């Protein structure tokens, strides 16, 4: 191993530990809602600049919302959990909790799709239903044109190599009794059991370098790493088989803000280099916007709005999206204090008994009596922008906020 | 190597680049360090090792075979069979004029074997059974655990005694009988712990990657169960020894010329009014030392493997 290379790795792994004391100076940005999650370390921001411009200008197959051949097609996906009331008789029928209630979208190869929504909106359940660790109760998940639910157990298992997942809690996602090398190698050993040990070690080392970990740490155990490093291990494990689709379930929520930026940029970089399709789930709109080509906004298991990320952030149509965007903090204390927030009243309704009609109507500032009548249709506004609200043209709740922000 | 960013560590970290791979410190190694700091546990371990050496190699020091009967001594045990170095009867003789030292070595060995075999059956069968039931969940879990409940509700001592009476008294029968009952508790413990581990994300990650269920159980669940299982097993060994001793005490366990600590204690207890207290004292000493050593080691292991649970 050569010296300059080594220095680079030291920097990469050392970063997580020294990141904390970095001052959180607000970036001098004029657009309040579109700020990146944190000031990025200089080296990363520099590396990242070409990525951002490429993502904006094209290079992705779908700029128009029309997909040539989606790698993943989700059709009317539903997931319901059986809930047994406490102390019920064995013959009492269990109640249904509708975590995901009919979601459809397409994902093109190499595309990155963001999913946002507050806690309990069914984001993680959606991810798990696609990965197949939770059984769906309706609809279809088509991966490269094949229905995953219709497959035999064996075919399904073979298919799992193409869809990998990165988890929310970096440490809990790693087996504490296994070494990092074994953890990263597990998917490879599972799907290609005949790979020689030497080859496995080589690929693990290669990937550890790629995600910014020192390859000589293979024999360490997860508890010896920081949160950011653990997440890098999780990412390395997800990528060792060169999957086609990567599902990130709130990969940065458990991390320190400055480490978040590193991990998000790493994911972006890897996605570009490996041509991965990615589903990126988060409740932080600013992070999702930074990563995604398109964004899906979910509320109580339903899609409220789908649009390209720029269009969604600058021109949200659905009242819920507008409220979400208005709640993104502005990293400027003066502006932040002056801003009038269209605060959403109330709580997320129970998914055991969702409101009739539009699920958002109980908290919607524009709600009318007929919102309770039936499910609002998905209106296509062109350019891939779809919104589930017939009254989206009404004066925006965001107007006030936008005026304040200039 | 710790992760403290002191300059010394940083230097070593840089050196480590040149060196091939850094060896990590596993949770097992951490536990060993904690265990070694626990004086009572280490003392227990030393005592246990000493007892094992006594049981397996003490026979070489014996001057007599355990089944050699010295007819000259029968009837004059209290005066002639006294423990002494000169006669070669270090622990004296028993009521039939056999060398008690050789008998105690043999008895300790058999008692340890019974305890260890019982615990081993519990560890292997109980852990796998519990882990499979817990991981499978649903109806399989229900059926498997209700079976355990039913087996547990059977009065095992009664069944064991019946078995020994019907099939004849032999060491094999004793092992089978003790093995049959020892895994029940273990399977319950393992199943409960599996339910906790099953919900962890690393198990989900393995499932999502396409690892087979049996591999998940063996690779991800069982290693994480082992801490608890080992602690329970060390506490189970003395329990098994006590069970065996009790059965032997009743006269149903080990058959002559074999013996166990329980049988020796039973013999000693029935003769103690004739001034041959050593017949009770020596076996009892090894019995108590073994049990205490196991309890201390088990306690130390629990503290070492479960640092949060103190």
Element (H, E) at B51: helix B39-57
Assess whether A272 and A161 both reside in one domain: yes
Half-sphere exposure of B124 (CA within 13 A, CB side): 7
Nearest to A224 among B3, B20, B220 (CB): B3
Distance CA A8, CA A6 (A): 5
Distance CA A170, CA A15 (A): 17
Mean pLDDT of chain B: 81
Assess whether A280 and A158 both reside in one domain: yes
Nearest to B24 among A1, A156, A221 (CB): A221
| A226 belongs to a structural domain | yes
Closest CA to B254 of B155, B142, B154, B172: B172
| A282 belongs to a structural domain | yes
Chain B residue with the nearest C-alpha to that of A187: B209
Assess whether A273 and A371 both reside in one domain: no
Q: Which pLDDT band, with edges at 50, 70 and 90, does A49 fall under?
A: very low
Q: Which pLDDT band, with edges at 50, 70 and 90, does A6 fall under?
A: very low
| A32 belongs to a structural domain | no
Q: Distance between terminal CA atoms of chain A? A: 53
Assess whether A270 and A324 both reside in one domain: no
Q: Which pLDDT band, with edges at 50, 70 and 90, does A325 fall under?
A: confident
The answer to whether the CB of B22 falls within 8 A of the CB of B1 is yes
Q: Which pLDDT does position B87 carry in this prediction? A: 72
Q: Which pLDDT band, with edges at 50, 70 and 90, does A395 fall under?
A: low
Assess whether A335 and A231 both reside in one domain: no
Contact A216 B209 (CB under 8 A): no
Alpha helical stretches, state H, A122-277: 123-131, 153-159, 180-191, 197-210, 227-239, 257-274
Distance CA A267, CA A271 (A): 6
Q: Which domain holds residue A116?
A: 69-83+95-292
Q: Which pLDDT does position A326 carry in this prediction? A: 79
Tokens in use for A18? 């020294």
Assess whether A248 and A130 both reside in one domain: yes
Torsions phi, psi for A360 (to 5 deg): -90, -5
Distance CA A58, CA A42 (A): 25
Assess whether A338 and A197 both reside in one domain: no
Assess whether A152 and A112 both reside in one domain: yes
Contacts of A133 in chain B (CB under 8 A): 204, 207-208
The answer to whether the CB of A219 falls within 8 A of the CB of A181 is yes
Tokens in use for A285? 């709109």
Domains in chain A, number: 2
The answer to whether the CB of A226 falls within 8 A of the CB of A255 is no
Assess whether A117 and A249 both reside in one domain: yes
| A401 belongs to a structural domain | yes
Residue ranges of domains in chain B, CATH in brackets: 35-66+91-309 (1.10.3720.10)
Q: Which pLDDT band, with edges at 50, 70 and 90, does A219 fall under?
A: confident
Closest CA to A67 of A128, A144, A164: A144
Contacts of A169 in chain B (CB under 8 A): 201
Distance CA A285, CA A125 (A): 19
The answer to whether the CB of B169 falls within 8 A of the CB of B248 is no
| Residue A5 touches chain B, beta carbons under 8 Å | no
| A380 belongs to a structural domain | yes
Closest CA to A51 of A277, A272, A328, A357: A272
Closest CA to A201 of A213, A187, A190, A185: A185
Nearest CA-CA distance, residue B302 and chain A, Å: 17
Among residues 143-162 of chain A, which lie with CB inside 8 Å of chain B?
Answer: 156-161
Arithmetic mean of pLDDT, A219-238: 90
Distance CA A103, CA A296 (A): 10
> How do residues A94-144 score in pLDDT, each as one tens digit?
888 888 888 888 899 889 999 998 888 888 899 999 988 888 888 888 888
Arithmetic mean of pLDDT, B103-111: 87
Assess whether A277 and A325 both reside in one domain: no
Q: Which pLDDT does position B49 carry in this prediction? A: 92
| Residue B215 touches chain A, beta carbons under 8 Å | yes
| A9 belongs to a structural domain | no
Nearest to A219 among B3, B24, B220 (CB): B24
Contacts of A214 in chain B (CB under 8 A): 16-17
The answer to whether the CB of A233 falls within 8 A of the CB of A30 is no
Chain B residue with the nearest C-alpha to that of A10: B14
CA distances from A190 to A158, A161, A374, B207 (A): 10, 9, 47, 11
> How do residues B113-150 score in pLDDT, each as one tens digit?
888 888 888 889 999 999 999 999 888 999 999 999 99
Assess whether A283 and A332 both reside in one domain: no
Which residue among A242, A276, A292 closes a domain? Answer: A292
Assess whether A270 and A353 both reside in one domain: no
Closest CA to A133 of A93, A95, A160: A160
| Residue B165 touches chain A, beta carbons under 8 Å | no
């Amino acid at each position: 191993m050569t010296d300059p290379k080594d220095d680079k790795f030291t920097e990469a792994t050392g970063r997580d530990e020294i990141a904390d004391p970095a001052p959180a100076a607000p970036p001098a940005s004029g657009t309040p809602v579109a700020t990146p999650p944190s000031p990025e370390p200089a080296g990363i921001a520099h590396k990242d600049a070409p990525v951002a411009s490429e993502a904006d200008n094209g290079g992705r197959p779908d700029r128009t919302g029309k997909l040539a051949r989606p790698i993943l097609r989700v059709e009317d996906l539903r997931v319901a959990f059986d809930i047994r009331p406490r102390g019920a008789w064995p013959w009492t029928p269990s109640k249904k909790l509708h975590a995901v209630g009919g979601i459809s979208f397409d994902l093109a190869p190499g595309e990155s799709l963001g999913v946002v929504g507050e806690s309990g909106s069914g984001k993680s359940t959606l991810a798990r239903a696609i990965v197949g660790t939770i059984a769906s109760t309706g609809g279809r998940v088509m991966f490269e044109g094949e229905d995953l639910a219709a497959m035999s157990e064996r075919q399904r298992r073979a298919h799992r190599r193409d869809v990998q997942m990165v988890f929310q809690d970096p440490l809990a996602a790693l087996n504490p009794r296994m070494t990092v090398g074994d953890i990263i190698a597990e998917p490879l050993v599972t799907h290609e059991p005949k790979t020689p040990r030497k080859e496995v070690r080589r690929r693990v080392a290669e990937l550890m370098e790629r995600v910014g970990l020192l390859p000589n740490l293979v024999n360490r155990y997860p508890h010896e790493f920081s949160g950011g490093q653990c997440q890098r291990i999780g990412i390395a494990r997800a990528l060792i088989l060169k999957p086609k689709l990567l599902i990130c379930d709130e990969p940065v929520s458990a991390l320190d803000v400055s480490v978040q930026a590193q991990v998000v940029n790493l994911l972006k970089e890897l996605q570009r280099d490996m041509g991965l399709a990615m589903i990126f789930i988060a409740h932080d709109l600013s992070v999702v916007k930074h990563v995604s080509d398109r964004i899906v906004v979910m509320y109580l298991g339903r899609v409220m709005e789908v649009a390209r990320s720029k269009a969604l952030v600058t021109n949200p149509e659905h009242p819920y999206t507008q409220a979400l965007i208005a709640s993104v903090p502005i990293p400027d204390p003066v502006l932040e204090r002056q801003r009038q927030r269209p605060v959403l009243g109330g709580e997320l309704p129970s998914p055991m008994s969702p409101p009739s009609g539009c699920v958002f109507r109980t908290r919607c500032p524009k709600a009318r009596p007929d919102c309770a009548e039936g499910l609002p249709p998905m209106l296509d506004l062109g350019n891939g922008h779809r919104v589930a609200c017939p009254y989206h043209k009404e004066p925006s709740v965001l107007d006030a906020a936008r005026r304040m922000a200039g | 190597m710790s992760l403290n960013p002191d300059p010394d560590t940083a230097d070593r970290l840089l050196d480590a680049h040149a060196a091939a791979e850094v060896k990590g410190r596993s949770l097992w190694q951490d536990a060993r360090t904690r265990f070694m700091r626990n004086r009572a546990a280490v003392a227990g371990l030393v005592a246990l090792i000493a007892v094992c050496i006594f049981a397996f190699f003490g026979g070489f020091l014996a001057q007599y075979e355990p089944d050699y009967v010295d007819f000259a001594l029968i009837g004059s045990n209290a005066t002639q069979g006294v423990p002494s170095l000169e006669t070669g009867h270090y622990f004296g003789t028993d009521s039939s004029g056999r060398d008690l030292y050789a008998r105690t070595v043999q008895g300790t060995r058999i008692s340890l074997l019974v305890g260890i075999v019982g615990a081993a059956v519990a560890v292997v069968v109980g852990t796998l059974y519990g882990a499979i039931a817990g991981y499978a969940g649903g109806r399989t879990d229900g059926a498997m655990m209700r079976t355990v409940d039913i087996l547990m509700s059977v009065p095992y001592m009664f069944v064991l005694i019946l078995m020994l009476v019907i099939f004849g008294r032999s060491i094999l029968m004793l092992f089978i009988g003790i093995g049959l009952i020892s895994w029940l508790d273990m399977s319950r413990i393992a199943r409960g712990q599996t339910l906790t581990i099953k919900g962890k994300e690393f198990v989900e990650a393995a499932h999502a990657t396409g690892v087979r269920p049996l591999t998940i159980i063996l690779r991800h669940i069982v290693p994480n169960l082992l801490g608890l299982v080992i602690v329970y097993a060390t506490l189970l060994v003395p329990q098994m020894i006590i069970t065996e001793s009790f059965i032997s005490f009743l006269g149903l366990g080990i058959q002559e010329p074999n013996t166990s600590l329980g049988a020796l204690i039973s013999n000693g207890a029935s003769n103690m009014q004739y001034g041959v207290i050593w017949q009770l004292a020596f076996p009892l000493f090894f019995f108590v030392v073994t049990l205490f050593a196991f309890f201390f080691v088990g306690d130390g292991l629990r503290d070492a493997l479960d640092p949060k649970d103190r």
